[in-house]
Amino acid sequence: FSGAEYFEGVEKLLEIWFTHTDGKAKNCDLRSIPRNKWESLLQIVHCEVISFSSNELVDAYVLSESSMFISKNRFILKTCGTTTPLQCLEPLIMLVNQHAGFNSYEDVFYSRKNFKRPDLQKSPHRTFDEEVELLNAIFKDGSSYCLGEEDSECWYLYTLHPNNVPQLAQPDQTLEILMSDLDPKVMSLFTKASSSSALEATKKSGIDKLIPNMRIDDFLFDPCGYSMNGITKSGYYMTIHITPELEFSYVSFETNIPQSSYKDVISRVIETFKPGKFVVTIFANKASPASASTHEMQKLSRFGPWMQRDIQFCRLNNYDLTYTFYSKFPS
């Protein structure tokens, strides 16, 4: 691993829920967008599709740099490295209008952890201010936040929830765990030298045991690096991306499975990857069983050797958001 060329594992995460201003979104569907249109869009982002899985409710793409999930009205694009997801926003909105029929947004989220090497990013991703400027030029009236300690361990969010669009009260929740300084033995599993296939890495690490009933589509990069998407019959997803190089190791975990407590999932994830430090974010809307997670996280002042160093709450228009930072050692 030593002397490896720097790679930014920290992802930029875009999630957009589309709607129609007249409330007639019944015949609108993002999955009507042809595959070649998605592929052209991803060229703008500087990544490509390397694997695909789907069921009746969700299309899941493993990308050369992370993942994309498409369901009827929700678009999720998570990309790492020096990709430029915000550059695809205008063409995305046109594509969605032309092929899927939506003409407005119910919710927009753009988030990311602080980059380790922001100087290596391409415009508009060099600073959060620059990202917000672009987002504000496209979506009017969004709000931006920095949770955590600025210039240290922090996490940025831009979000928009227009008040003038029809609202659906379907439950929604997202758990993200963003881990750094990971255990070298665990990281070595995600190399071609230690695992002969993605399946072997998935099983040896215990990723297949993190959440039950996930149909897994995994990929092991050469010489190292790992990505997986999991989808359930009910349309829930999980996704994991691993940058195993010791000098800049990073693992992200994300899922939208509904739970009234995420304590066990978080414990399983951190015991599997053994990070030195990690950020947890939980979004939950009012209809979600996870809406009590804000109170729960307050009580989880430690997970074994990992101590809670920071916790913040945000009451957004449609969601409650909890941010927490844990580490083994004080910074």
State yes or no: residue 205 binds ligand PUT (CB under 6 A): no
Q: How far is the CB of 141 from ligand PUT (least distance, A)?
A: 18
Residue whose CB is less far from ligand PUT, 9 or 244: 9
CB of 329 to ligand PUT, least distance (A): 28
Residue 121 or 255 having the CB closest to ligand PUT: 255
Please give, one letter per residue, the 3-state secondary structure of the chain: CCCCCCCCCCCEEEEEEEECCCCCCCCCCHHHCCHHHHHHHHHHHCCCEEEEEECCCEEEEEECCEEEEEECCEEEEEECCCCCHHHHHHHHHHHHHHHHCCCEEEEEEEEEECCCCHHHCCCCCCCHHHHHHHHHHHCCCCEEEEEECCCCCEEEEEEECCCCCCCCCCCCEEEEEEEEEECHHHHHCCECCCCCCHHHHHHHHCHHHCCCCCEEEEEECCCECEEEEEECCCCCEEEEEEECCHHHCEEEEEECCCCCCCHHHHHHHHHHHCEEEEEEEEEEECCCHHHHHHHHHHHCCEECCEEEEEEEEEECCCEEEEEEEEECCCC
Shortest gap between Cβ of 13 and ligand PUT (angstroms)? 5
Assess 38 for contact with ligand PUT (CB under 6 A).
no
Residue 180 within binding range of ligand PUT, rule CB under 6 A = no
Nearer to ligand PUT by Cβ, of 224 and 251: the residue is 251
CA dist., res. 175 & res. 266, Å (int) = 9
Among 13, 45, 108, 224, binds ligand PUT (CB under 6 A): 13
State the Cα–Cα distance between residues 29 and 26, nearest whole angstrom.
Answer: 8
Rounded to whole angstroms, the Cα distance separating 283 from 290 reads 8
Among 11, 59, 153, 172, binds ligand PUT (CB under 6 A): 172
Q: Does 174 bind ligand PUT (CB under 6 A)?
A: yes
Tell me how far apart the alpha carbons of residues 127 and 114 are, in angstroms, rounded to a whole number: 9
Q: Name the residue nearer to ligand PUT (CB basis): 224 or 280.
A: 280
Mask 123-162, x = binds ligand PUT (CB under 6 A)? ----------------------------------------
Name residues contacting ligand PUT, limited to 276-295 (CB under 6 A): 283
State yes or no: residue 109 binds ligand PUT (CB under 6 A).
yes
Nearest residue (CB) to ligand PUT, 77 versus 187: 77
Contact call for residue 111 and ligand PUT (CB under 6 A): yes
The residues that are catalytic are 8, 11, 66, 80, 227, 241
In the complex with ligand PUT, the residue whose CB is nearer, 101 or 258, is 258
Give the shortest CB-331-to-ligand PUT separation in angstroms: 25
> Total binding residues for ligand PUT by CB under 6 A?
7
Are 273 and 209 contacting, i.e. CB atoms less than 8 angstroms apart?
Answer: no
Query: Taking the complex as a whole, how short is the minimal distance between the CB of residue 107 and ligand PUT, in angstroms?
Result: 7
- Nearest distance from C-beta of residue 92 to ligand PUT, angstroms: 16
Identified binder of ligand PUT from the candidate list 8, 15, 131, 320, rule CB under 6 A: 15
Nearer to ligand PUT, 159 or 180 (CB): 159
Q: Where does this chain bind ligand PUT (CB under 6 A)? A: 13, 15, 109, 111, 172, 174, 283
